[in-house]
Amino acid sequence: MTDRITGLTLSSVTLPLKHAISDAKVFTGRQRPMTEVAFLFAEVRTESGLEGVGFGYSKRAGGPAQFAHAREVAPDLIGEDPNDIQRLWTKLVWAGASVGRSGASTQAIAAIDVALWDLKAKRAGLSLAKLLGAHRDSVRCYDTSGGFLHEPIEQVLANATASLASGIGGIKIKVGHPSAAVDLARVRAVREHIGAETPLMVDANQQWDRPTAQRIGRALEEFGLVWIEEPLDAYDAEGHAALARSLDTAIASGEMLTSVAEHHELIRHGAVDIIQPDAPRIGGITQFLRLAGLAEHANLIMAPHFAMEIHAHLAAAYPHEPWIEHFDWLHPLFDERLEIRDGRIHLSDRPGLGVTISDQARKWTVDRADLGAPV
The answer to whether 341 is annotated as binding is no
According to the annotation, is 59 in a ligand binding site? yes
Q: How far apart are CA 375 and CA 371, in angstroms?
A: 9
* Packing angle, helices 104-124 and 63-73, rounded to 10: 60
What is residue 375's predicted lDDT score, i.e. its pLDDT?
65
Query: Rounded mean pLDDT of 239-243?
Result: 97
Q: Give the span between the Cα atoms of 149 and 252, in whole angstroms.
A: 19
The verdict on whether residue 203 carries a ligand-binding annotation is yes
Of 52-66, 176-190, 258-272, which gets the smallest average pLDDT?
52-66
| Residue 24 marked in a binding site | yes
Say if residue 205 carries a ligand binding annotation.
yes
User: At 208, phi and psi to the nearest 5?
Assistant: -100, 150
Residue 70 scores a pLDDT above 90:
yes
Higher pLDDT, 128 or 17: 128
Instruction: Given the residues 263, 305, 311, 326, select the one marked as catalytic.
Output: 305
**Strand 138-143 to strand 51-59: parallel, antiparallel, or no bridges (unpaired)?**
unpaired
Residue 22: per-residue pLDDT = 82
Q: What is the pLDDT of residue 61?
A: 84
Q: Does the pLDDT of residue 1 top 80, yes or no?
A: no
* Mean pLDDT in residue range 106-124: 96
* Mean pLDDT taken over the chain: 94
Residue 91 falls in the annotated catalytic set: no
Does 172 appear as a known binding residue? yes
Q: Is 305 considered catalytic here?
A: yes
Domain 5-126+358-372 sits in CATH at 3.30.390.10
Please check if 23 is assigned to a binding site: yes
Is 363 annotated as a binding-site member?
Answer: no
**Residue 268 confidence (pLDDT) above 90:** yes
pLDDT tens for each residue of 138-181: 999 999 988 898 999 999 999 999 999 999 999 999 999 999 99
Closest CA relative to residue 114, chosen from 48, 14, 39: 39
Percentage of the chain modeled with pLDDT above 90: 86
* Cα gap 263→21, rounded to integer Å: 27
User: How much is the average pLDDT of 9-16?
Assistant: 96
pLDDT per residue as tens digits for the range 172-215 = 999 999 999 999 999 999 999 999 999 999 999 999 999 999 99
For the chain, the structural domain boundaries read: 5-126+358-372, 129-346
pLDDT tens, 269-320? 999 999 999 999 999 999 999 999 999 999 999 999 999 999 999 999 999 9
Predicted TM-score of the model (pTM): 0.95
pLDDT at 13 over 70: yes
Distance, CA of 293 to CA of 291 (rounded, Å): 5
Choose the weakest-confidence range: 61-65, 165-169, 205-209, 236-240: 61-65
DSSP 316: H
pLDDT of residue 295: 97
pLDDT at 153: 96
User: What CATH homologous superfamily does 129-346 map to?
Assistant: Enolase-like C-terminal domain (3.20.20.120)
> CA–CA separation, 242 vs 274, rounded Å?
15
pLDDT in tens, 329-367: 889 999 999 999 999 999 999 999 999 999 999 999 999
Amino acid 47: pLDDT:
95
The better pLDDT of the pair 92, 23 is held by 92
Taking the CB of residue 343, how many other CB atoms lie within 10 A of it?
17
Could you give phi then psi for residue 171, rounded to 5 degrees?
Answer: -130, 130
In angstroms, the CA 80 to CA 3 distance is: 8
- The answer to whether 229 is annotated as binding is yes
From 120, 122, 130, 174, the catalytic residue: 174
Of 268, 293, 172, 267, the residue nearest 226 (C-alpha): 172
Per-residue pLDDT, 278: 96
